[in-house]
Structure 1
Amino acid sequence: MKRFGLALLAVVLLGMGTAADAAASAVAAIEAHRHLGVASCANSVCHGASQPFRDSNVQQNEFAIWQEFDPHARAYQTLTNKASQDIARKLGIGDPTQAKVCLDCHADSIAADKRGERFQISDGVGCESCHGGAELWLNAHADKDVAHADNLAKGMYPTDRPVERAQLCLSCHMGTKDRMITHRIMGAGHPRLSFELDTFTWLHPHYKIGEAWNRRKGEWNGVRDWAVGQGVAAENLLDLVVDERAGWQGIFPELVLFDCHACHRVMSGKQWGPRQGTGLGPGVVRLNDANLVMFRHVLAPVDADAAKSLLEQTRALHKATTQSREATFTAARRLRATVDGLLAKVAAFNYGPENLDAILASIEADAKRGEYRDYASAEQVAMAAQSVVVAFENDGKVDADRAAVLRARLDALYETIKNEDAWSQQRFNTALSALRAAAP
């Protein structure tokens, strides 16, 4: 698959329970079996080859790629640097390489009694952090005669399924009630979190999607991954909002759930302006609704009426946050039920080349209404635009010359969000219009 710009990106839905519960279930599934350690996968005849195998369903050099290029491999080492040590000192949690709140996302933080002889916590976010404890499927998954479904039944995590992959990734890259990067942690110096499933899937891939992959696991659809990821992230946000323990800290709500730039901006800027999607006036701290905004665009080719309803319910949630905790919970639960009811429809939808313009048109219409006054939403738009542009190429809707123009305009769009402290809605909207004008 062709990927460019900042980074490049058979759905089975978990139809029961909340997103937070699903994320907790994803972590539970990863931790269900003994973790044998990265070394168990690194043999030259397993995934540690220096070059791809010619007659294999997989490249066999995944370990080498992970070790050299994937930041997950260095996640534990990050905890040893000065910035991490400073954060830990400010939080009063001691050595970050020993603190569970850090290890949960910077390492394969499996319980001691679930660690095999070759397991090392210093390996960082290794194979089994995402693929699950390998004690039952390590040998079987190397056998070409063993079906993928059989490996899943033995504890391999279904990372090929967008919903389940989103639930697992978001458990760290967004946070759940048990794995939250709180405002307190960010106040101590932790970077702001930003995640989009399709883009982040292709940031540092250690596998290729081809005929063999599709035959075993079903056809890959990057735009559908983007769409599903937005829905799961929206559910995750709403579940945290109504969680009495995770969503509230004393008399304050958990501020990490709100838009950072609603507060963290130059005091003398006088830059406030209305946003139709919130209905709020100046001086009101607002929820970070970027994923809810994007889920409306997800729905553009699927159900336009549902997209309008989602906008109304999102506005109702914003208004409820100015009234009371009870009103906020009621509005959030109603909106959460709406998203949940639509997610299966989105996951089953065939996002093909005929649907892409509807998505871009919906995104551009929001730009004209001033919806990207919030940096977080614009950031998500850039990643969405990338997924759509890649789909144009993969679906053969553009020739080489048009593709080059689209790539250049996508890069120009990313350039406008490169520095959040120098964010300009006008520059972003201009770049977005130029990208849309070049689209087929």
Structure 2
Amino acid sequence: MVSLGLYALEKPDVRANVCLSCHVGSDAPGQFVDHRLMAAGHPRMSFELDLFTALQRHHDEDVDYFLRKEVSTGAQVWAVGQARALERQLTLFSNPNLNMDGIFPEPVFFDCQSCHQDISDDPNYRPNAVLNPVRPVTPGQVRFNDAHMIMLLAIAEQIAPNEADALRQEIKAFHASLSGHGDRSEASEALQLTASRFATFAGSADFNRERTLGLIERIADDVVTDRYTDYAAAEQAVMAIDTLLSSMVAADQVALSEVDAIRGGVELAYDAVSDSNRYSQLALANALRDLRADVTGLR
């Protein structure tokens, strides 16, 4: 049926590119959501491939399906989705027909809370902007939505530690280029190519029990939690942990009863990101610290 025009959606890379065309957008006519559409009521842009697949699953993957199809783990699907989402985001951002709105950069590429936050004349008011350790951006500057960068860096630190530092430097160079330090096109292209390479690598990586547990622990680690200064990245972190635990259950790497026993910790993490307008990094950090201890107990 693929020869007749259907897509081999069992392949994470194919599924990612098809889903991203709507959930993030493309340069095809009518497939790019700009900030003017957001102002008209379009929901905030968010994408997580494996969880979105599960939430709108249209069939059960039974024994016959596994015999006919090349089936990937949820962890693989998640990792490929993160890498391809970043690649697509940067591809659109590099498109001169899409990345400007009049004299301003197209706002849809940037973090919503950079602008959408409380404004007060109260002398006791304190802005809620927090410096991010992997983003050389000072308060007052509009921040690029780097949620997928932060997730991809966590993936790299766990499954490709030899390449993690280079990715970290590329992320910093990209953010610096938006502040006028360095060539923006060059920095964007370099990071885009790295994301594409990681997508290929993640699609064939072995997300075994130890590696997946290590990845969950890394996402919930204090060092990485310090990067969740913005809601979008925090949301991705919580969805990732939920997705990776579900992947482990589906792959018989951990018993469902064991995950159910720590489900309360996952729900507390979800509570911390339940409202983008009231997001508290401290509340999330506390929830993830407890959840990390629960996950370590699965070893």
1:286 counterpart letter in structure 2: R
Within-5 A mapping of 1:402-417: 402-417=258-273
TM-score (norm 2): 0.91
> Once the two structures are superposed, what CA deviation does each residue of 1:98-141 show, in whole Å capped at 9, x if it has no partner?
xxxxxxxxxxxxxxxxxxxxxxxxxxxxxxxxxxxxxxxxxxxx
Which among 402, 423, 428 is matched to residue 279 of structure 2?
423
| Mean Cα deviation higher: 238-247 or 362-371 | 362-371
The equivalent of 1:322 in structure 2 is 179
Pair member with larger Rg = 1
The equivalent of 1:313 in structure 2 is 170
Structure 1: runs of 5+ lacking an equivalent = 1-150
Of structures 1 and 2, the one scoring higher in RCO (CA 8 A, sep 6+) is: 2
The equivalent of 2:47 in structure 1 is 195
The equivalent of 2:24 in structure 1 is 174
Any runs of at least 4 consecutive aligned residues in structure 1 with deviations exceeding 6 A, and if so which? none
Structure 2: runs of 5+ lacking an equivalent = 121-125
2:18 counterpart letter in structure 1: L
The equivalent of 2:133 in structure 1 is 276
Shift of 1:437: 0.9
The equivalent of 2:203 in structure 1 is 347
The equivalent of 1:292 in structure 2 is 149
> Once the two structures are superposed, what CA deviation does each residue of 1:237-275 show, in whole Å capped at 9, x if it has no partner?
111111000111222111100010111111244112210
**Percentage of matched positions with identical amino acids:** 31
Contact 1:275 1:369 in 2 (8 A): no
Q: Does 1:264 align with 2:120?
A: no
Q: In structure 1, the residue corresponding to 2:17 is in which secondary structure? A: helix
Shift of 1:368: 5.4
The equivalent of 1:302 in structure 2 is 159
Cα distance in 2, alignment partners of residues 299 and 346 from structure 1: 10
Contact 2:17 2:84 in 1 (8 A): yes
> Once the two structures are superposed, what CA deviation does each residue of 1:320-354 show, in whole Å capped at 9, x if it has no partner?
00107x82111101111222223211111121212
Cα distance in 2, alignment partners of residues 337 and 195 from structure 1: 20
The equivalent of 2:93 in structure 1 is 241
Cα distance in 2, alignment partners of residues 421 and 204 from structure 1: 26
2:81 counterpart letter in structure 1: G
Cα distance in 1, alignment partners of residues 285 and 134 from structure 2: 17
Within-5 A mapping of 1:26-425: 151-178=1-28, 179-268=31-120, 269-323=126-180, 327-365=183-221, 370-399=226-255, 401-425=257-281
Cα distance in 2, alignment partners of residues 175 and 368 from structure 1: 28
| Bigger helix fraction | 2
> Once the two structures are superposed, what CA deviation does each residue of 1:295-327 show, in whole Å capped at 9, x if it has no partner?
112223321121221111111100100107x82
Shift of 1:410: 1.0
Shift of 1:399: 4.3
Let me know the Cα RMSD of the aligned residues: 1.7
Distance 1:253 1:204, change over 3 A: same
| Mean Cα deviation higher: 335-344 or 307-316 | 335-344
Pairs aligned (count): 289
Q: In structure 1, the residue corresponding to 2:183 is in which secondary structure? A: helix
Distance 1:163 1:398, change over 3 A: closer
